[in-house]
Chain A
Amino acid sequence: GQQVMQIPQYQHVQEGEDFTTYCNSSTTLSNIQWYKQRPGGHPVFLIQLVKSGEVKKQKRLTFQFGEAKKNSSLHITATQTTDVGTYFCAAWNRDDKIIFGKGTRLHILP
């Protein structure tokens, strides 16, 4: 079935460094969503991208949707301890159900 692959699985960064996670699909996606889950918490919706080449920003977070709509990225500038958590991408499959990537776990080193 359709899958969305996320890389890396884990990322350790020094506080203040940038962080990027990537989401890739072998098939064209109609849209892509990003979620954040804090340790011990539940996933929280961050944003949705729909258009080819779309870029959206939320403060230090920049989300991009590839031109071919097969990949997406989330970039965090100057990470802070509040950015700790797991970031998931999600996309709709052919059965009209949303499927989640396995996530990238971000650790911040003080």
Chain B
Amino acid sequence: DAGITQSPRHKVTETGTPVTLRCHQTENHRYMYWYRQDPGHGLRLIHYSYGVKDTDKGEVSDGYSVSRSKTEDFLLTLESATSSQTSVYFCAISDGGDRDYGYTFGSGTRLTVV
């Protein structure tokens, strides 16, 4: 969707290396989320942010950290990538965190850890 971009779209990395995925939005939405999607597990929340420098953990946060220094950017870092972190990562944004609107998702980053 226009207004949210993820980079890179694809990445192959080696076990033990750090990896940073970027999510950039132009909608000025307050809430940003990182999900991973794996077969049989659906979408699982890794971390989310409810404002600049305000972040919190989701259900599968181990091995991941995030940072949000500007409203428009939400970074997801794998400090030391493992093969279990091979997945498709989606960023999502929402306006106000309220329940009246759906999430807008980015196009995803396909990460392979070898």
Q: A residues bordering B, Cβ < 8 Å? A: 1, 30-31, 33, 35, 41-46, 48, 50, 88, 92, 96-103
Contacts and interface: CB of A to CB of B under 8 A. Distances in A.
Interface string B31-69: 000000000111101001000000000110000000000
Interface residues of B, number: 21
Given A35-B102, A45-B102, A45-B103, A102 B97 contact: no
Contacts of A92: 99
B37 to A, nearest CB: 9
Nearest to A45: B102
B82 to A, nearest CB: 23
B107 interface: yes
Nearest to A92: B99
A42 B106 contact: yes
Interface pairs A-B: 9 shortest CB-CB: A45-B102, A102-B42, A42-B105, A100-B43, A43-B105, A100-B42, A42-B108, A42-B107, A33-B102
Nearest to A86: B42
Given A88-B42, A96-B97, A48 B58 contact: no
B7 interface: no
B31 to A, nearest CB: 10
A44 B100 contact: no
B98 to A, nearest CB: 10
A88 B43 contact: yes
A4 to B, nearest CB: 10
Given A88-B43, A100-B42, A103-B42, A30 B99 contact: yes
A44 B42 contact: no
